[in-house]
Chains A and B, each alone.
Chain A
Amino acid sequence: MAHGRIRARLRRSHFYTFGCLRPTTTDEGPHPLQGPGFSRTVHCNQPEIHERRPLYYCKNDISTTKYNVLTFFPKALFEQFRRVANIYFLLAACLSASPISPFSPLSMIAPLAFVVGLSMAKEALEDSRRFVQDVKVNHRKVHHHKGDGVFGPRMWQNIMVGDVVKVEKDKFFPADLLLLSSSYEDGICYVETMNLDGETNLKVKRSLESTLFLDSDEAFKDFAGTIRCEDPNPNLYTFVGNFEHERQVYPLDPSQILLRDSKLRNTEYIYGVVIFTGHDSKVMQNSTRSPSKRSTIEEKMDYIIYTLFTVLIFISIISSIGFIVKTKYQTPTWWYLRPDSIESQYDPQKIGVAGLSHLVTALILYGYLIPISLYVSIEVVKVLQATFINQDIHMYDEETGTPADARTSNLNEELGQVDTILSDKTGTLTCNQMDFLKCSIAGTPYGVCSSEVEVAAAKQIASDLEDDDSDLSNFPLPNKKGHVSWENVGVAEEYELETVVTSKGDEDEKHAIKGFGFEDDRLMNGNWLQEPNTDDILLFFRILAVCHTAIPELNEETGSFTYEAESPDEGAFLVAAREFGFEFCRRTQSSIFTRERISTSGKVVEREYKLLNLLDFTSKRKRMSVIVRDEEGQLFLLCKGADSIIFDRLSKNGKIYLEATTMHLNDYGEAGLRTLALAYRRLEEKEYSDWNDEFQKAKAAVGADRDAMLERVSEMMEKELILVGATAIEDKLQKGVPDCIDKLAQAGLKIWVLTGDKMETAINIGFSCSLLRQGMKQICITTNSDTESNDVKQAIKDNILNQITNATQMIKLEKDPHAAFALIIDGKTLTYTLEDDLKHKFLGLAVDCASVICCRVSPKQKALVTRLVKEGTGKTTLAIGDGANDVGMIQEADIGVGISGVEGMQAVMASDFSIAQFRFLERLLVVHGHWCYKRIAQMICYFFYKNIAFGLTIFYFEAFTGFSGQSVYDDWYMILFNVCLTSLPVISLGVFEQDVPSDVCLQFPALYQQGPKNLFFDWYRILGWMANGLYSSIVIFLLTVTILYDHPFREDGQTADMAAVGTTMFTCIIWAVNVQIALTMSHFTWIQHLFIWGSIMTWYVFLTIYGMLSPEYSKNAYHLLVEALGPAPIYWSTTLLVTVTCNLPYLIHISLQRCFNPMDHHIIQEIKHYKKDIEDQHMWIRESSKARQETKIGFTARVEAKIRQLKGKLQRKHSFLTIMSPVHK
């Protein structure tokens, strides 16, 4: 197998003018090795040395779990008791053994143990998932040197420092390695660092010259060497160390270091020696514990709990004062209490002690005000909600079989309150797959396929035509109605409509060839020979086929070539060239071979292009060129680059097609395509050789200004170009992205794009996602200067400030309500803008803009921007990304969403939710977020209501017992109240409640705004519920006590004792709170019915069973229901009366609210209830299209803008009676 593989042993370093020949010896003198921080010594190929101290380094297994078997119990327990409420209950439980406690120890400890145990079980479950993931990584295998030149597989976790490993193509590096040699004979290899920094382009690493001989397994038989280097540190881009081999010391720099979690690409294999293992590796050093996040609702809930604590303390103090008064002045005369032999806690002589101990008693007694089961119920509910999110089939990706995954369940409701989405671009919005879609050659546009943007826009317009017909005809048109004007509109839409038609048929073929979506018979199958300007077309194809740095790879099964290109654009070009009949087939050190099929007959000619020079692409140059000599001996400079750059360098007679091409480029840009211009230049032998001398000189130069020199020399050659044409490549958006963005925008969300890409790309994507559109005012904030001295820095900052102020001013002065602004800022500017003095101004500007795009931002800047938005606006932010470079942002944001797509798992591992595709975000937020928010909000409110209603009755009753701390309820009632009798209904509220079904959520995105506006958890509502609880407690207590006061309660003439009163009161509470929750719900499945009515039934069942136990256990409750209460009509009548009275105000309130001030979901519920949506579908559709937030981004906004534009034109036309040319755009 190894023999059959073609090894591309190319000295690829030749291609790279800038990248690889960078002198490695210009480093900072002698390394401060052996000093502090630089103590690491690695004995290569001698891992046994590292098994003992002092050279023992940590193992290569990683662990991201919070606990292990031993630490789980204490640590998890500690976590639980960090909650104030739990500490309180723990103290209460501790005191329950003492006579101070009003309850039996069991009734205090059991609920606490239940609650804490459940939470800990959940922790354990979550941690075990992390553990499984770790094990998976630790058990990956890699080839390592077993000795005597034999390599064998070994698990990652067993790799030691000093091991020599062999990593193969497309595998991850198991640890930080020193590159020794690779399958290329000059020891270079390509590395994809997607997981580290999110950059998709490949990076070149290069081994030391002195280790190049280690190019086979056998060579490692006797290899030995010593590396001295820095200690583990998190800096990804530096490395200081040296390598000692055969008494020679060589300095090492980052270009020899292969980092864990990056991937070997385009290289068959490499050999490397392990330097840093496991948690010492740079990527692990970089990883931060994901911060534990809490939702805003839960934070607010803490405040409510503190409020309740205050209330608790307050009423405890009242009660203690009452107790002191009673005890001091009255109890001494109560002979039946034997005041002569009294315990100290009631002793009026020691009133201080008695008072204090009563205070403690009271604090425990009224503990039912604090819902002990709240936390655990919320946790249970959230886990169940998360299960539903995971199960949602509409968020299940068929292609990869990935469901959505709520990785932490404690942010579910936060999903319903998101205000700003910060999105990564590559891999999130786009698939990172480029399709060659259109081109413009010699001023003629080719390619009939439409981009996704065009298709979607056309569809939208087509569907809106009907609806807007009426709108438009209402428009004041003086003479004729609609018809005439519509013809004009029709012309405008024709273009789009046409594309819809054509695109439909192409759907199948479109995906046939990856990277190629071009469709135009004029160019395909050699037909281009019949076109005018054949020469230009030929050149165009040749530039595509020759001007690149890719390597072809023959797929032996199909016999076709695939290309390993640095960027997907380049791959798309080569595929396109191949399809046009210019197949790039071979590359040697000095030549590029293509197979050209110029005639229609299909005869293939192999042509050789001698590659003389290659001028690299850099982000600064924004172009790349090759200088080649073709078979006729002609010298050409072939160049492709950003249009602006190329257009600046055109010769006088090279501008023939400039005007036409520019127009096409604009069209392409509007269609959301990435464009490049192609140009060439014929060179004279003399001119070239002169230039080449200089170029070689620059290339050989050593020193800091080498790059600058090379650039200058390159610049000298890349001029006087002749424009051939332009290409348009579609950076394929992920499925449904524009639609999703549209819906999210309608739901009132703001979307920021943070991308590492260059500005042009970002803007193009902005267009294709409809974040940008024509007519939007783009505010670009940039800096030009590169230098970094201090006063210059100040100047730059002033400049930026100036730009920001101007832009802010501009927005303020804008009168047109429909004007939209887009802010585009690049990474370098961002570094200044994110400094303290500028950031708030920047944020102020950004908030005013409809869309914000940050380009060329580093992972850290992503995190900083996220923090700025989060802290600056105080609103909830959601960050979504797929790569490791998004980890910072994902962790920083209130909610981090990872795309569990193609690339590594880092983003997913750091995220709170993972989804397979961006488009699922819509459902995640608008459906699940909305539901979860309302559920949790209602649930918490209800919880407080219920505990206040219950807890206060204990207080009232105690006041009637001389503040002695006696409770009217049996201990068992109290235990069961929270655990059993009221918990399931509230959980069913939290899990199953739906104000409107999911499809309505999606149809009416405006409903989502209830979350960000926090309509269901504002203080007004919380206090309302608390007041309701207060009212209920008073009603329950007063009515029950008055009815059962001193009268006989049944025919037998017996009066009610404490057990009868307490049980009646408790029955009323159970009924009242359960009926209350039934009133709160708007969605009853059999589950809700079962839980609510089941809870009430459970109470009676419990009471019956409890009453049947021996009186030793049931005490006064013995036969209570069966004998005393059950047959008493007064018991049932009281229950009915109290239940209704308790819920009457709430019922009136919601009836009034719905009647006079209905909320959106009320109206929709009513429409659904009366089935109006079926009767009057037109109304339903109209309303759902209206039901959205005013937005300036997204398709709909785009279409609206277009319609506005047309209307405006029509109006002008009619008012000024001027004849207008047919409308374009």
Chain B
Amino acid sequence: MDLDGGSSSTISTGARAIPGRPVRHGALYQFTQQNLPACKPVLTPAAVISTFLLMGFIFIPVGLVTLRASYSVVEIVDRYDIECVPEEYRSNKVAYVKDDSVSKNCSRFLKVPKSMRAPIFIYYQLDNYYQNHRRYVKSRTDRQLLHGLGYNDTSSCRPLESSDDLPIVPCGLIAWSLFNDTYKFSRGPSELKVNRKDIAWKSDRNHKFGKHVYPFNFQNGTLTGGAKLDPTIPLSDQEDLIVWMRTAALPTFRKLYGRIEEDLEADDVIVVNLKNNYNTYSFGGKKKIVLSTSSWLGGKNDFLGIANLFVGSFSILISIIFLVLHLKSPRPYGDTAYASWNKKSISS
């Protein structure tokens, strides 16, 4: 008897737990029913035309302003890598540059086309120089630059992590190949003062290169790369090194050398006395010196302005085309004649 009673209560075959009735109101309900208030923009003709017009009205002024900024910049570019090699070495420039006994001095005369307001930035530009090569980019260690000899793991600096079993500070290919041409400027008789401070990023100077890290065992190996560093000056003050160590993105690049903090007048002739030390001859790279003023936008950059103008006028063109198209063959929006079910009945 109790058997029956027991069984009927314990065995429940098809019974499934009935979940609670879902909520029927509130934000959660709207969410679960995918019924949240939504904005549903529709590309109506008015929206399309005005969007393109608006884009035109934004880009054309921007383009004009940037172009104007770009035109306000005066830039002098002078390639000197060939001219500065004496005639007798022209056929074998590599031998010239490698020969320490030959004087590397060279003078260039630059004519100022328009008056240039201070500060006038001095750049060196290298072509066909792959600072972005993977081996090159990797060959450095930021920790050593910050902590100096206190940081031992220089394996990433290969193949220039040590020389004569002593660590190199700063190690790596980038530092080793530091650019070492030097420029001196004079206008007529007077020398133009070149300010080589504050050419590197402030954060680099303050936080990435140690204030108490001094070059050590640098360029002491059998092969000397580029410039030597004064071992008495901490890395944070070796600004040309800091600039050089910000590797460029492309094989053609400019790097800041210094600033001339005097205005230059039109038709002034600037004499550049340079030491043509750096070897770009073995791989056929060019060397240029660039003097440039700057605007709020940076340097001379016509492309940005032109591109803006182009996109802006293209947008306006599109909006006009749309306008014409709509006037010529208007499709009343929301007209169901274009719906598939109506088309079908027309065709059939």
Q: A388 to B134, Cβ gap below 8 A?
A: no
Flag whether A148 is at the interface (Cβ < 8 A): no
Binds A, one of B107-115, B185-193, B308-316: B308-316
Closest to B343 in A: A1160
Residues of B within 8 A of A1141 (CB): 307, 311
B292 interface residue (CB < 8 Å to A): yes
- Is A212 part of the binding interface, using a Cβ–Cβ cutoff of 8 Å? no
Q: Are B142 and A1111 in contact (CB-based, < 8 A)?
A: yes
User: Shortest beta-carbon distance, B271 to chain A, in Å?
Assistant: 22
Q: Say whether B298 contacts A337, CB under 8 Å.
A: no
B1-23 CB contact bits vs A (8 Å, 1 = yes)?
A: 10111111011111010110110
The residue in chain B whose Cβ has the minimal distance to the Cβ of A1040 is B249
Q: B202 near A1137 (CB under 8 angstroms)?
A: no
B253-A1151 in contact (CB<8A):
no
Which of B1-58 touch A at CB < 8 Å?
A: 1, 3-8, 10-14, 16, 18-19, 21-22, 24, 29, 32-45, 48, 51, 55, 58
What's the nearest-Cβ distance from chain B to residue A845, in Å?
Answer: 24
Instruction: Decide yes or no whether A63 CB sits under 8 A from chain B.
Output: no
- A171-B11, A1140-B311 known; A1133 vs B40 contact (CB < 8 Å): no
Contact with A along B193-217 (1 / 0, CB 8 A): 0000001111110011000000000
Docked pose: A343 CA to B119 CA in angstroms: 44
Contact residues on A (Cβ < 8 Å of other chain), bracket: 35 or more
Give the chain A neighbours of B340 by CB distance below 8 A: 1006, 1009, 1159-1160
Hey, which chain A residues are within 8 Å of B241, CB to CB?
none
Number of interface residues of B (CB under 8 A): 121
Contact A1151 B48 (CB under 8 A): yes
**Interface presence of B146 (CB below 8 A):** yes
Instruction: Pick the contact of A1118: B37, B59, B207 (CB < 8 A).
Output: B207
For residue B76, give the distance in angstroms from its CB to the closest CB of chain A.
Answer: 14
Q: Is A1087 an interface residue (CB 8 A)?
A: yes
Q: Does A1048 make an interface contact (CB < 8 A)?
A: yes
How far is B259's CA from A415's CA once the two chains are assembled, in angstroms? 69
Q: How far is the CA of A1183 from the CA of B341 in the complex (A)?
A: 9
Contact of A1055 among B36, B119, B255, B336 (CB under 8 A): B255
B72 on the interface (CB 8 Å rule)?
no
Bound form: Cα–Cα A1082–B43 in Å: 10
A1150-B303 contact, Cβ under 8 Å, with A905-B14, A1116-B246: no
A333 pairs with B283, CB closer than 8 A: yes
User: In the complex the two chains form, is A1123's CB within 8 Å of B201's CB?
Assistant: yes
- CB contacts (< 8 Å) of B1 on chain A: these are 1-3
Shortest A1075–chain B CB gap in Å is 12
* Min distance, Cβ A413 to any Cβ of chain B, angstroms: 16
CB < 8 Å neighbour of B297 from A151, A263, A965, A1130: A1130
The reply on A682 being an interface residue by CB < 8 A is: no
Task: Check B250 against A1045 for contact (C-beta < 8 Å).
Answer: yes
Closest chain A CB from B337 CB (angstroms): 9
Whether B169 is near chain A, meaning CB under 8 Å from some CB there, is: no
Contacts of A1059 in B (CB 8 A): 246
Query: Is B167 engaged at the interface, CB distance under 8 Å to the other chain?
Result: no
CB–CB A336/B295 < 8 A: no
Does B71 touch A at the CB level, under 8 Å? no
Report how far A1041 CA is from B252 CA in the complex, Å: 11
- State how many angstroms separate the Cβ of B122 from the closest Cβ of chain A: 9
Q: Name the distance in Å between B304's Cβ and chain A's nearest Cβ.
A: 5
Q: Please, which residues of chain B bring their CB within 8 A of the CB of A1124? A: 201
- Residues of B contacting A1084 in the complex (Cβ-Cβ under 8 angstroms): 38-41
Q: Indicate whether A534 reaches chain B with its CB closer than 8 angstroms.
A: no
A1047 near B40 (CB under 8 angstroms)? no
Q: Are B249 and A1048 in contact (CB under 8 A)?
A: no
Render A392-406 as a binary contact track against B, CB cut-off 8 A, 1 for contact: 111010001111000
Contacts of A824 in B (CB 8 A): none
CB–CB A1151/B304 < 8 A:
no
Asked if B164 CB lies within 8 Å of chain A CBs, one says: no
Q: Do B202 and A1123 touch (CB < 8 A)? A: yes
| B36 and A960 contacting across the interface, CB-CB below 8 Å | no
One of B85-93, B227-235, B262-270, B325-333 contacting the partner: B325-333
Nearest chain-B residue to A335 (Cβ)? B282
Contact partners of A335 in chain B: CB under 8 A: 177, 225, 279, 282-283
Query: B311, A964: Cβ atoms under 8 Å?
Result: no
CB B222 to nearest CB in A, in angstroms, measures 10
Most B CB within 10 A of own CB, among A170, A403, A1169, A1172: A1169
Could you tell me if A1047 and B301 are in contact, using CB atoms closer than 8 angstroms? yes
| B203 CB contact (under 8 Å) in A1119, A1136, A1147, A1157 | A1119
Query: Cβ of A1172: which chain B residues have Cβ within 8 Å of it?
Result: 334
B68 contacts partner chain A, Cβ-Cβ < 8 Å: no
Q: Verify A140–B11 contact, CB threshold 8 A.
A: yes
A153 touches B43 (CB 8 A): no
Which single member of A904, A966, A1046 contacts B125 (CB below 8 Å)?
A1046
A143 to B2, CA, bound (A): 12
B132 with A1168: CB separation less than 8 A: no
Q: How far is A143 from B4 in the complex, measured between Cα atoms in Å?
A: 9
Cα distance A1219–B243 when bound, in Å?
Answer: 106
- Is the pair B336, A1179 in contact by a Cβ cutoff of 8 Å? yes
Min distance, Cβ A830 to any Cβ of chain B, angstroms: 31
| Cα of A849 to Cα of B69 in the assembled complex, Å | 74
Interface presence of A775 (CB below 8 A):
no
For residue A961, CB closer than 8 A to chain B, the reply is yes
* A396 and B20 alpha carbons, distance in the complex (Å): 11
Contacts of A1165 in B (CB 8 A): 40, 42
Q: Which residues of B contact A152 (CB under 8 A)?
A: 3
Write out the residue numbers on chain B whose beta carbons fall within 8 Å of the beta carbon of A1220: none
Q: A998 CB to closest chain B CB, in angstroms?
A: 7
Q: Are B45 and A1155 in contact (CB under 8 A)?
A: yes
A1058 at the interface (CB under 8 A from B): yes
Pick from B159, B177, B326: contact of A1155, CB under 8 Å: B326
B292 near A1048 (CB under 8 angstroms)? yes
| B143 at interface by CB-CB < 8 Å | yes
How far is A1 from B66 in the complex, measured between Cα atoms in Å?
97
Q: How far is the CB of A991 from chain B (nearest CB, A)?
A: 9
Is B96 located at the chain interface by the 8 A CB criterion? no
CB distance A1169 to B334 under 8 Å?
Answer: yes
- What is the CA–CA distance of A1134 and B225 in the complex, to the nearest angstrom? 37
Cβ-defined contact, B331 with A1112, below 8 A: no
- Distance to closest chain A CB from B185 (angstroms): 16
CA distance A143 to B279 in the complex (A): 97
- Known contacts A1044-B249, A1186-B341; A1133 and B296 CB within 8 A of each other: no
Contacts of B18 in A (CB 8 A): 400-402
- Cα(A1151)–Cα(B247), bound, Å: 44
Residues of A within 8 A of B80 (CB): none
Find out whether the CB atom of B133 lies under 8 angstroms from the CB atom of A391: no
Complexed CA–CA distance, A1111 and B243 (Å): 16
Within 8 A of A (CB), among B117-151: 119, 121, 123, 125, 129-130, 132-137, 142-143, 146
Q: Are B333 and A1058 in contact (CB under 8 A)?
A: no
B143 to chain A, nearest CB (A): 6
- Given A143-B3, A401-B19, A1111-B208, also A1053-B34 (CB < 8 A): no
Return B124 CB to nearest CB of chain A, in Å: 11
Interface string of A950-985 (1 = CB under 8 A from B): 000000010011101110100000000000000000
Query: Can you identify 22 A-B contacts, CB atoms within 8 angstroms?
Result: A1-B4, A141-B10, A168-B7, A171-B13, A330-B283, A343-B158, A960-B132, A960-B250, A998-B35, A1006-B340, A1045-B250, A1046-B253, A1049-B299, A1051-B294, A1057-B249, A1083-B40, A1118-B204, A1130-B304, A1144-B315, A1158-B338, A1163-B336, A1186-B345
Interface residues of B (CB under 8 A from A): 1, 3-8, 10-14, 16, 18-19, 21-22, 24, 29, 32-45, 48, 51, 55, 58-59, 62, 66, 119, 121, 123, 125, 129-130, 132-137, 142-143, 146, 158-160, 173, 176-177, 199-204, 207-208, 223, 225-226, 243, 246-256, 259, 279, 282-284, 292, 294-301, 303-304, 307-308, 311, 314-315, 318, 322, 325-326, 331, 333-336, 338-342, 344-345
Extra contacts, 5 of them, besides A1041-B250, A1155-B325 (Cβ < 8 A), are A331-B133, A392-B33, A1050-B298, A1053-B119, A1167-B334
